[in-house]
Structure 1
Amino acid sequence: MPKVDLLKDTEKLKFTDIIYMKRLEEQNLQRAKKVLRYRKSNNRLAFALTFGVLGIYTYTIYSVKQEKFLDDFEEPEKTIELPK
């Protein structure tokens, strides 16, 4: 369908066509605003989840580094039994 230029094709358009076009433009603008709100909300949620996961990860790494129970572990000496 060819594009309509409102300045050049005014004689071809009816008054009702112009009203319908304006009505659709308004509906499209409202839909775009709604989508933009959802996008902002989704971005905030994504950042919150990302920071939560990174916080849990760094806390886990930090707490594991503090554990010392395996640092003092001494291996038992190996004994060789001689045959009798």
Structure 2
Amino acid sequence: MADERMPKVDFSKEASLNKNILDFIKLAEQDNLRRVQKLQRIRRNNLVTAFALGGTVLAIYGYSFYAVKQESFLDDFDEPKIKDVQ
């Protein structure tokens, strides 16, 4: 998979940018990096929560099949015998 990051730009080669602009660009890069890291952490936490909830749902679903399969009270049910009244 190719690296999806943009290449770093060397602002020291640019003569038209003064120090204030370069400082602002570095500050914006740091803020953007913090924002991306926060979004990645939130996404990871959401995935963990989704897998935990999905696993719980599947466990309850599987247990309900297992519990119903063990029920045997209807298997031993004998129909009442009909008495001939004549």
TM category, shorter? 0.7 to 0.9
Q: Which residue of 2 aligns with 1:45?
A: 49
In structure 2, distance between residues paired with 1:52 and 1:60 = 12
Structure 1: segments with no counterpart, 5+ residues: 78-84
Please list, as runs of the form range in 1=range in 2, the aligned pairs for 1:2-81 lying within 5 A after superposition: 6=10, 10-73=14-77
Q: TM-score, normalised by structure 1?
A: 0.72
RMSD: 2.3
Q: Aligned residue pairs: how many? A: 73
Paired-residue identity, %: 42
Of structures 1 and 2, the one scoring higher in RCO (CA 8 A, sep 6+) is 2
In structure 2, distance between residues paired with 1:51 and 1:71 = 32
In structure 2, distance between residues paired with 1:8 and 1:26 = 18
Once the 2 structures are TM-superposed, how far is the Cα of residue 74 of structure 1 from its aligned partner? 5.4
Runs of 4+ in 1 over 6 A off after TM superposition: none
- Helix, strand or coil for the counterpart of 1:27? helix
Equivalent residue letter for 1:20: F
- Find the structure with the greater CA-based Rg: 1
- Helix, strand or coil for the counterpart of 1:69? coil
